[in-house]
Structure 1
């Protein structure tokens, strides 16, 4: 991985600092990610194509700011967001990762529950953002069922059918789910969601404090965040226990996890193909 001279020059000029070294770190499939060592200290930086992902880092900055304002759970400080040529970058506070334990899992559960108390008048968000590499519409609705159908499931189902990863029969089965969805759960006030809360999107620092990273925020049903935590193996039991002590989930929440995980599964169908199609169909079959 290489970083252009234009990005280095832009960063040094705006930070008024000299970059001493940039060491590649894990940052996902979309971005180049580095530990940035400067005369001001260490930072985390990720870089991608502005042409391919316009506004992605501005959306992330907005999401981090919304979560930070709740004063419930830590997020990295945004140091600088910039665009130069076809490259966008986001510089964040460097967080030295530690090792999670029962206490840090309990903190994460409690603090996420406290964040979920923050609400809004409607389901959705003031701006669109991204889910992975896909644009994510956040048009606002008066019910979670309407929002989940129109802004989450329908766009992904259509994309998957267009890509021939799903069939017309699959689309008709989703139409049946849409009719049933309002009766499958009890509406709650909108909760501020992280929106992409799998195990790779939080950190535990060396003091045992949890940080949320890479948010895809909206206001929605809080079970959606909980479902995402279980999609790829689940968090520690202490996390769920602490969450429910702080903000108990509605009865039957475990049975609805497959329902809410239809959305991230469809995202994976569209990103990676048929290896996720079977699981999406199995989740759908549980509700129709």
Structure 2
């Protein structure tokens, strides 16, 4: 799929630049992604349906801004965000990807820990956003337990039941978890979370500098971000050691990873179906 003439015209007008070449980039499940070569240099752009995903790129821009404001870890600079017809686009600084090593992993772990020190009065965020292609509610709560139950688990459980991926028995088991949840961990002050922190959502540039991309931010329990690093790989021992040196996790954090991963697993159940249902149920059974 090519970049539409209306988007090209919009970008050239706003940047006062000429687009010389457009190269598609693979890897996006929701968006079409491209490298734009312009008279001002190279940029990254992703495009999707404004009708299907209203406000997605505006919320991503807000999340990138929240991370940038902490002055702890790099994010790509937002160049433009615009809508033309039924298309929405987000244009970002082009980052030349390099190769990670132990030193870049240490930087990533240390800088994420510093980002997690950014706090707020309540759990949640100033606006809702997206987790993948699914709406993510960020209503504020005074405890992580209530936020995790009401804004994370319950909406995904209901959706999974509606899709017939979970049953009434599963609902009963989740209700058991909700009652036990406050006693399964110790509350901490809210931390700014990336929110979708798996191995595909960070970059290491050619100088070894880490960048966070594709955030789904909220203020939450920082173990949530750490838990997601264990789902699909992409993080090594140096990352965890550096994180814990900078901002030690509370004792028992390893045992709670499956608890927090219930949410991304339920998201995957609702996006991709039953291949993730069994894993979600196994994680649930460990805590009831």
TM-score (normalised: structure 2): 0.99
Whether 2:172 is the aligned partner of 1:172: answer: yes
Give the Cα separation in 1 of the matches to 2:5 and 2:35: 17
Q: How does 1:139-150 map to 2 (within 5 A)?
A: 139-150=139-150
Whether 2:108 is the aligned partner of 1:108: answer: yes
Aligned to 2:184: 184
The count of aligned residue pairs is 288
Q: How does 1:75-94 map to 2 (within 5 A)?
A: 75-94=75-94
Which of structure 1's runs of 4+ aligned residues deviate more than 2 A?
Answer: none
Give the Cα separation in 2 of the matches to 1:241 and 1:34: 35
Q: How does 1:1-288 map to 2 (within 5 A)?
A: 1-233=1-233, 235-288=235-288
Structure 2 residues not aligned, in runs of 5+: none
Give the Cα separation in 2 of the matches to 1:69 and 1:76: 13
Q: Secondary structure at the match of 2:48?
A: strand
* Cα distance, 1:4 vs structure 2: 1.3
CA contact (8 A) 1:203 1:210 kept: yes
* Cα distance, 1:170 vs structure 2: 0.5
Q: Secondary structure at the match of 1:37?
A: strand
Give the Cα separation in 1 of the matches to 2:157 and 2:48: 27
* Cα distance, 1:234 vs structure 2: 5.1
CA contact (8 A) 1:129 1:136 kept: yes
Give the Cα separation in 2 of the matches to 1:19 and 1:173: 55
TM-score (normalised: structure 1): 0.99
Give the Cα separation in 2 of the matches to 1:19 and 1:249: 47
Give the Cα separation in 1 of the matches to 2:100 and 2:26: 18
* Cα distance, 1:28 vs structure 2: 1.4
Structure 1 residues not aligned, in runs of 5+: none
Q: Secondary structure at the match of 1:106?
A: helix
* Cα distance, 1:27 vs structure 2: 4.2
What's the CA shift string for 1:205-226, capped at 9, x where partnerless? Answer: 0000000000000000000000
| Greater mean deviation of Cα atoms: 91-100 or 13-22 | 13-22
Give the Cα separation in 1 of the matches to 2:144 and 2:234: 24
CA contact (8 A) 2:198 2:233 kept: no
Give the Cα separation in 1 of the matches to 2:192 and 2:154: 22
Give the Cα separation in 2 of the matches to 1:181 and 1:215: 26
Q: Secondary structure at the match of 1:114?
A: helix
What's the CA shift string for 1:73-131, capped at 9, x where partnerless? Answer: 00000000000000000000000000000000000000000000000000000100000
| Greater mean deviation of Cα atoms: 239-248 or 27-36 | 27-36
